[in-house]
Structure 1
């Protein structure tokens, strides 16, 4: 054996060991490793859909309540105007009663 060959022999052994030990992962191994993460993602997606549904429902209820509040405000404004008119008529009547008659 030549001297250069004896120097290169350990390098070939290390290279062969690295190639042999560093093989690719099998599909089943990858599936096993991904399965717990996939289950958690599925669970989170389900919870997200439920939360989204709850949020949409709450938004619809809030919008309905806002519309009802606007209607109530308009009715209150109308009633306030009518009450003010009645109050003015009562004040006029009271003034007429308090005037001394000659």
Structure 2
């Protein structure tokens, strides 16, 4: 091959490569391609915020219920002590009646 032929072949390959690699995306093309993804992200973000609000509300209700359950447990403990005391007095009275001789 002659040096002129090889130089022109090299120039054509370089030119073809430059033309094929020169296709940069335009801003409008990129916006078109990203728009559906952006819309989905926005939708998911809104759902996430809604779910977060629901979760926080549920947590507050659970904490309130836990406090009420503790209150109820304390009241039950107090009532159990009172019932035990009444039961002991009743048992003692029954034992006194059983020890008395009947006439």
TM > 0.5 fold call: yes
Corresponding residue pairs, total: 101
Mark the runs of 5 or more structure 2 residues left unpaired by the alignment.
Answer: none
Aligned to 2:44: 44
Query: What is the deviation of 1:49?
Result: 0.7
Query: What is the deviation of 1:100?
Result: 2.4
**Cα RMSD for the two superposed structures:** 1.7
Q: TM-score, normalising length from structure 1?
A: 0.90
Q: TM-score, normalising length from structure 2?
A: 0.89
Deviations along 1:7-65, one digit per CA (max 9) or x if unpaired, are 13223222212222322111111111111111111111111111111111111111111
Mark the runs of 5 or more structure 1 residues left unpaired by the alignment.
Answer: none
d(CA) in 1 for partners of 2:72, 2:31: 60
Aligned to 2:15: 16
Aligned to 1:7: 6
